[in-house]
A and B are shown apart, each in its own frame.
Chain A
Amino acid sequence: MMALDTVAVASATPDIKQPWRELGLKEDEYQRIREILGRRPTSSELAMYSVMWSEHCSYKSSKVHLRQFGEKAPKSAALLVGIGENAGVVDVGQGYAVTFKVESHNHPSFIEPYQGAATGVGGIVRDILTMGARPVAILDPLRFGAADALDTKRVLPGVVAGIGGYGNCIGVPTVGGEVVFDPSYIGNPLVNALCVGVMRHEDIKLAKASGAGNLVVLFGAKTGGDGIGGVSVLASETFDDKKPTKRPAVQVGDPFTEKVLIECSLEIFAADLVVGIQDLGGAGLSCATSELASAGTGGMRIELDRVPLRDAHLSPEEILMSESQERMCAIVPPEKIGRFLEICQRWDVVATVIGEVTSGSHLEITWHGDLIVDVPPRTVAHDGPVYNRPMKRPIDQEVLLQNNAESLPRPKTSKEIADAILDLVGSPNMADKSWITEQYDRYVQGNTIAAGPSDAALIRIDEQSFLGVAVATDCNGRFCALDPYQGTQLALAEAVRNVAVTGARPLALTNCLNFGSPEDPAVMWQFAESVRALADGALEMGLPVTGGNVSFYNQTGSTAILPTPVIGVLGVIDDVREAISYKFTGIKEFILLGETLEELSGGEWAHRQGHLGGIPPRVDLQRELSLANFMNAQRDYIAAAHDLSDGGLIIALIEMLLQSKTGAQISIHGDTFMHLFSESTGRVLLAVDPKDANYLVAQATQAGISTTRLGKSGGENLEITGVETLSMLHIREVNQRTIPELFSA
C-alpha cells in the first residue's frame, strides 16, 4: 500500500510527478494550485481541487455568462434567498417561504437509467431539504432519443421506474414534468428533476459554518465507494481481493434512508439545533466541507477517520471523493449536540461528529492524526478557474433559418387535415403519457390539487387558508436550435403561461441548461445566447432567477443535443379552490385568447414531416404578462383553460376535450390547417359558460388581448369546418395506444 501522502510529505517532496492530467486538470491549473499552497498538493488535496474545479462543480465555462442573472436581476420583493445557495427561496405570503430548484443527472442516467434517475431525484430533494424545507413536490423534465429507437427502450423504462421507485418511497408526490422525444438525445438522454419545498420564513437554513467551536456533524448513510470514478488512480494500486469491487461512476440510492433522513432533519430543524447545513451531492465531503467553510466565518478542522464507512478499505482520497447518497453535514453548537444525536438515534440515523469550526482561515483534514489537507477553502469552492470559451455562430445557421416549414406542402382537403390531426395526436410527443405518470404517486401528503396533465402542478400549502403554489417546466429544444435567444425566451414564455393559466401569479424562475460540449464554439454560442435571453427575459418580466444548474457535454462525438434550456416557473395562488382547471363539465363555449400567425417552423407538425428549419414563433413577453394578469383577474369566469404550445390549437383543444370526455363543434375562419397547427405564442384556450362569453371577450378586448370565438362543446365527435369529422373515441384510442405499445414489456 502506498504511504499516506501528508502535508509534511508534500512539503518535503516537491518534485514528485502527480496525476493531475488523469484527474482532468490542466497544466496551468495544477501550477495555480501549487502557487496557492506554496508547495505541491497532497494526493487528497489534488483530488479535492480536481473534482471541485471540474466543469460540473465549478461552472468554469458558464460562470462568465451566468453572472448576468445577478447583474440583470429584477427587483423582487418576493426573493428571500437568491443565487449562490443550494436553492432559491421566495416569499409566498402568510409567513411561508417556498424553495425550489431544478437539476440534471443526465450522464448517470444513460449509464444506469434506474439508479441515475433515482439518485437525481434524491439529490435535488436533499438540496431542498437542506434549505430547511419539507419537500412537497417533484417534477421531471425528461428527454429521450426517438421513441422507437432501441436505446430509448433501454433507457426510458429504467428512468421512469427509478423516478417512481425513489420519489414514491420518500413520500414526495411526483406531479409534473415533460417527456420529449428527439433523435438528438439518443446518446444523451436528459433527466432533469425539480423539487419544491415549503417552510416558514424563520426556518430558512443556509450552508455556512460559523462560530469557532461549533461541531461539524455528518449524518445519514454510511460512506462507501459510490461514484468514485477517476479518483481511484490515486488510491492503492495493488490488487487486493479482500476489497469490495470498485464501483464505476454510478451512485446507488436508498430511498428508505432518505425518507428517514427527511423526517429526522425536519425534527432537528424544528428544535433549532443547527446553525448551518449542507447536503452531500457531487464531490461529496470535499464539496460539503469546502463550501461550508468557505461561506462561513473561519476555518474548519475535520478528522476524516471518524467518517462512518460501509467499506473499511477506502483510502482518504476515496472517502473525500465518495458520492454515497443520503448524507448531510450540519454545523451544531456544542450545547445542542446531545439533543441532535438523540433525534438521530430515535430515527435510527447514523450521526458522527467529524470535526469543528475553527477560528483560523484554512480547511484542515487529518487522517489518524496526520494532516493530509490544509487549504484555503475559498480557493477550492469558489475560486475555481474561469474560462472565457470561444463562441461562434455556426456558418450554416442562416441556411437553417431560411429553410422554413411554412413553405412545406400542406394538407389541404378535409380528409388530409383529419389524417394530419390523427397522425399528430398519436405521435410519441403528443401521445397520452399515462403509462409513465401512473408509475408516480401523485397523492402522498394529501395536498395535490392538480398534477399532470394539468399545465402546472398545483400544491396546497396551508390547509386553513388554502394558499398554494403552481409549478411548471418547459423547453422546446427545436426552437432553441433555430434561434437560441428567441427559443429560450419562448421557453420562459411557455413556462410562465403554464403557471398563469391556473390563475396563479408567477413569482420566480429556476433553470436547467442542458447543452453540448463547451469546447465547441457553436455550442458555446448557443449557451451564451440562451443565458443572455433568460437574463433579459427575467428582467423584462420581473421574475428573478433564483438558481439552477448547467449540464454541459451532452454530446456524442460531434453531435450535440438540441440546446435545451429547461425553465421552471413558480407561482403563487392565494386560494387553490379558485384555481382554474384544465377540464370542464357540461356545455361550454370555447374562446381563443391571442393572435394566430402563420408560424409552423420548429413546431410539432414540421417535426412529424422530418423538418427542422425556419424562424421560431415570435415571442412577446409583455403580452404574456398581460395574459397572466387577465387569467388571474378573470379566474372566476373561466371554467377551464389550457395554454397553447406544442401542436398548436388542435392539440390544446383535443387535450381539453379528452380530459373533459366530450366532443366539440368548431368553426374556423380562413386557413383551417394554419389555424389548427400554427404554434404562435401568447395564446390560451378558454372553456367558459356560454352566459359569461360576452363578458370575457369584452374584458379581453379592454386588456388588449385579441379573442376568437371558436364554438361549443358537446356530442361525441370533433367537428371542425374544413375537416372531416373525427370521433372522440377514435381520437382517444389513437392518442392512448402509442406509449404503451412502445414501452410495455
Chain B
Amino acid sequence: MRVGVVTFPGTLDDHDAARAVRYAGGQAISLWHGEADLHDVDGVILPGGFSYGDYLRCGAIARFSPIMSAIVPAAERGLPVLGICNGFQVLCESHLLPGALTRNVGLHFLCRDQEIEIVNNQSAWTNDFAANSRITIPLKNGEGSYQCDKKTLDDLERNGRVIARYVGVNPNGSMNAIAGITNEQGNVVGIMPHPEHAIDSLTGPSADGLAFFTSLVKSRV
C-alpha cells in the first residue's frame, strides 16, 4: 500500500507521518508541493506543521500548490486523504472539507496529551477502530478551534460526519468539541490532534494513533 506524504515549505511532521505509515506496514512516498504528480499512491497524508509559516492564514497558501491541483480532483474521485493539524487546515481552505480552523480560545499554542473519542469508525482512516474508542494522542497547535455555520454543523452532526470529539475540557473552543470530520464519501478526513505522534509508547503517550494508518494500509484498495 503506497501512501503519499506531502511536504510543503514549512511542513514539520512529514517524517513522522512517513514513519507512522511504515509502522502500519505501508510504503511512504514523499510528495513535493511543487509537483502535480501523485506517483500512483493509494492514499495521501497532508501532515502537520506551519506550511508557509502560517502566513496569511494557516494552510491558505499551501492550498494553491501544484500538488493540491492533483490531490483535489483525486479526492473528489475517492482517493483517501488524511489531513493532520495543518493538513486539516489545508483541506478546509481547499473546500474539500467544510468549516475552518481558528485561533485557540485560550490564545496560546497548546501541546498536551489529549483524549478523544472516535465517533465514526466507517471512514477510510478510522475503520480500524472499535466503535466509540477513546484514545490519547498529542494535540499541538495554536489554531485548532473548529468553526462553521449552523447549517454546516447540523449537516455534519445529522450525517455522522464528525469522526472524533475531544473528551473532557474542550482544549480550544471547537464547536461541539469537534476534533475531526470527514466528507460525505468518507474518504477525506481532517483531524486536529496528531496520531503520528502516538504510534508507540516509547515516543508518545500511547500507540493509539496507529489505527489511523492501519485503517488505510490494511484495507483493500
Contacts and interface: CB of A to CB of B under 8 A. Distances in A.
Contacts of A460: 202-203
Interface string B131-168: 00000001010000000000000000000000000000
A456 to B, nearest CB: 16
Given A169-B10, A348-B9, A448-B203, A161 B108 contact: yes
A375 interface: no
B70 to A, nearest CB: 19
A443 B138 contact: yes
A41 interface: no
Contacts of B16: 443-446
A168 interface: yes
A197 interface: no
A85 interface: no
A165 interface: yes
Nearest to B49: A171
A446 B196 contact: yes
Contacts of B15: 445-446
A449 B10 contact: no
B55 interface: yes
B202 A443 contact: no
Contacts of A257: 53
A639 interface: no
A443 B19 CA distance: 14
B10 A576 contact: no
A745 B109 contact: no
A256 B10 contact: yes
A594 B202 CA distance: 30
B202 A259 contact: no
Contact of B111 (A161, A171, A259, A443): A443
Contacts, number: 83
B53 A441 contact: no
A438 B171 CA distance: 12
Contacts of A367: none
Interface string A135-167: 000000000000000000000000001001100
A442 B204 CA distance: 10
A165 B53 CA distance: 10
Nearest to A435: B108
Contacts of A347: 9
Interface residues on B, range: 20 to 34
B207 interface: no
B13 interface: yes
B106 to A, nearest CB: 8
Interface residues of A, number: 33
Nearest to A171: B12
A632 B179 CA distance: 42
A449 B202 CA distance: 6
A439 B110 contact: yes
Given A259-B12, A443-B140, A446-B16, A165 B109 contact: yes
Contact of A260 (B9, B108, B197, B202): B9
Given A169-B53, A259-B10, A441-B140, A446 B202 contact: no
A520 to B, nearest CB: 39
B134 to A, nearest CB: 18
A254 interface: yes
A224 interface: no
A255 interface: yes
Nearest to B13: A444
B10 A745 contact: no
B37 to A, nearest CB: 15
Contact of B53 (A161, A256, A463): A256
A515 interface: no
A340 interface: no
A438 B110 CA distance: 5
Interface in A448-470: 448-449, 460, 463
B197 A446 contact: yes
Interface string B193-205: 0101100001110
A447 interface: yes
7 A-B pairs with least C-beta separation: A256-B53, A171-B12, A446-B16, A443-B197, A169-B50, A441-B140, A439-B109
6 contacts: A256-B9, A259-B53, A438-B112, A443-B138, A460-B202, A577-B202
